[in-house]
Amino acid sequence: MGNPFKQSQTRRAFDEDGARKTSIGGQALIEGIMMRGSTHWSVAVREPSGTIHIEEHELASGKDEHAWMRWPLVRGCVALIESLGLGFKALEIAAKHAFNDAGSDEEEFGKGAMTLSLVLGVLLGVALFILAPALVANLLVGDYDTNFVAWNLVDGIARVAVFIFYVWLIGRMGDIKRMFAYHGAEHKTIHCYEHELELTPENARQFPRLHVRCGTAFLIMVMIIAIFVYSLVPLGPLFEQLGITNSVAKFLLVLAVRLAFLPVIAGISYEITVKWAGAHPENPLVKVILWPGMQMQRLTTNEPDDAQLECAIAAMNKVLSHEASAK
């Protein structure tokens, strides 16, 4: 497949290594890829018959007129919420076309199963990445106000360790291995577009499967930023003001504060990984800061085959047809 979008030389933008700047990103799905542009998003899924199902949708934010939603920090929270919603819709589409043939009953069951999976996934995420690390910190350090700096450090290290082990563990599963290969196909296709080559499996295959604007790097940055943010907000004075002395009550309040600060942490992480690092990938400081997230991608991406690259290219081409008219 060729690239339908070729800008004129006067309208190109390049980053420091000569590649075109773009905000296009994506997500690996069940037997497919979701690509997101500035105004539209698309899904390409390999059906059991071998054909590729492609569909596109308009982004709500593409026609949003609220300027405050594009403020620094705020835009990161907005992007995160929108990405979660789009991810759920894209996964639903992929599940329908990758496995289901037809039939309203099957489709309705699939939607219910996806909703249940999302709810369980959120609960599992809170338990694994907020509750479990906090319990480890309490066991190793004691109550939060015993030494809140050490407590936050242990909590943060435990969170990163749990995340790495979790990703490594699920990466042993066959279906997840294939999804991680689609993740690699997404990155290679974006690289290919950024370097202005025709979008073909042959051209995309030569690029690395790691990319600076990856959700994995974002998640690692969230965990690192969380350590600093939580350490700057000691809760000892709040315990005293509220008259809280019970260990369980202290623990629950710490968890509540952690959940409340997640939007702030997500906003800061978005500014660093997406806005700053994405615009300056060759900056030495960027490479140092994003190194942990880039290395983590070695677990969350696999080398794709040509069929998977074809899916990624199909999704990219659909998005690019709208990016051209949006310029």
What's the distance, CA 195 to chain centroid? Answer: 22
**Could you tell me the pLDDT band of residue 114, with boundaries at 50, 70 and 90?**
low
Distance CA 268, CA 261 (A): 11
Indicate whether 280 pLDDT > 60: yes
Distance CA 253, CA 189 (A): 45
Identify the pLDDT of residue 79: 81
Identify the pLDDT of residue 9: 30
Domain chopping of the chain, boundaries: 9-326
Select from 32, 13, 72 the least CA-distant residue to 194: 13
Identify the pLDDT of residue 101: 58
- The model carries a pTM of 0.84
Distance CA 322, CA 41 (A): 9
Q: pLDDT: is 110 or 197 the higher one?
A: 197
Identify the pLDDT of residue 281: 77
Q: What are the backbone angles phi and psi of residue 281, rounded to the nearest 5°?
A: -65, -20
- What's the whole-number mean pLDDT along residues 264-268? 92
Indicate whether 109 pLDDT > 70: no
Distance CA 301, CA 181 (A): 6
Identify the pLDDT of residue 239: 92
- What's the whole-number mean pLDDT along residues 264-270? 91
Identify the pLDDT of residue 83: 85
| Cα angle, residue 166 at apex, residues 33 and 277 outer, rounded to 5° | 60
Q: What are the backbone angles phi and psi of residue 72, rounded to the nearest 5°?
A: -55, 145
Beta sheet of 52-58, edge-to-edge order: 25-29, 32-36, 40-46, 52-58
Distance CA 311, CA 45 (A): 7
Residues 6+ apart with CB under 8 A from 190: 22, 24, 25, 26, 211, 213, 316
Identify the pLDDT of residue 325: 61
| Kind plus residue range of the DSSP H or E element containing 53 | strand 52-58
224-254: pLDDT as tens digits: 999 999 998 889 899 999 999 999 999 999 9
